[in-house]
Amino acid sequence: MAPQLRAATDAPTLTRRVLLKLAGLLAALAALFGGRRAIAQAGLLARVTKAEDQNEHGLALELPKRRALDLPAGVRARCRPITLRAWRDLDTNLERSGRRAAATFEPVSIEALTSFFAFEITATVDGRDLSAAFVLNLPLLGEPEDRRERILLSMLKNRDEVRRYLLLLLAEAASSPSEVLDVIRALNGTGQGDGRGSLGLPLFEVMVKALYRNPESLDRVAQLISDLRKTPEGRDLLPEGLETVWEPIWATRKGLAGASPE
């Protein structure tokens, strides 16, 4: 057969193959889109469960009552909290009544508890996997009441670190390059002790400047101090002398905001 005739004969076959592959790809993309929509609209929620070790918990991905998670045919899914690396297959073969877990994760540290979950859905086209990933912020139930304070304690190990963090919270009160350098020098200098140092003049100066230049920044400091005061371990992290200096500054800040000091 002449080359020109063979090419003319093969052209329709090649076109059909391309169209079939394109149709398969479009069907897979539609299935992935449908899977993502099904997961997003399923009403999933994350629930914290207790563990024997108070520093560790379980985390379950659940469906609410009378809700179903129906993925398109040929689509499979897996998930994980964004703070963990291990994936779990998403169980879609669940009864339609009662709250139940579609995936469970344990043990999970207090720092790793999160409402953000990553999902990966996969469809197969011509023997090849086509995947898509996305993240959902889900309702988080059963969160430990002291989670915020415990995370703070895990991040701040001693008084020097607390003082450095306070300086960072107030750094935006610096209004000139020289004052920014002063804050940087203070940050570099506070980490050179045994972790038991006192308040220090740089932090006091930054607090006073913040009071008049950016009093809203003191609200973040107040939240930090309030959180640390809630536990004996947190109170031990407050720099020496901070309470004496902080109370009149905070009272003035509340006065400026129109609230009466406690």
pLDDT tens-place string over residues 111-121: 888 999 999 99
pTM comes to 0.63
Looking at 2.60.40, 1.10.3470, 2.30.30, 1.20.1300, the CATH number of the domain 20-143 comes to 2.60.40
pLDDT computed for residue 182 by the predictor:
58
pLDDT at 161: 86
**Two tokens, residue 91:** 């169980």
Residue ranges in the chain modelled with pLDDT below 50: 2, 5, 7, 96-98, 190-197, 260-262
Q: Please, which residues have CB within 8 angstroms of residue 179's CB and are 6 or more apart in sequence?
A: 209
Q: Which two tokens stand for residue 262?
A: 């406690």
Residue 109 CB-density burial (10 A; 0-12 exposed, 13-18 middle, 19+ buried): middle
- Residues 30-76 pLDDT 10s: 889 999 999 999 899 999 987 766 668 889 999 887 677 888 888 99
Domain ranges in the chain with CATH number 2.60.40: 20-143
- CB neighbour list of residue 6: distance below 8 Å, 6 or more residues apart: none
Residue from 194, 97, 113, 110 nearest 154 by CA: 110
- Give the model's pLDDT for residue 176: 53
**How big is the CA angle at 221 (ends 248 and 259), to the nearest 5 degrees?**
50
Contact 222, 250 (CB under 8 A): yes
Please choose, from the candidates 38, 35, 66, 44, the residue with its C-alpha nearest in 3D space to the C-alpha of residue 117.
44
Q: Which helix (H) or strand (E) holds 160?
A: helix 159-170
What is the CB neighbour count within 10 angstroms for residue 177? 8
- Distance, CA of 34 to CA of 239 (rounded, Å): 55
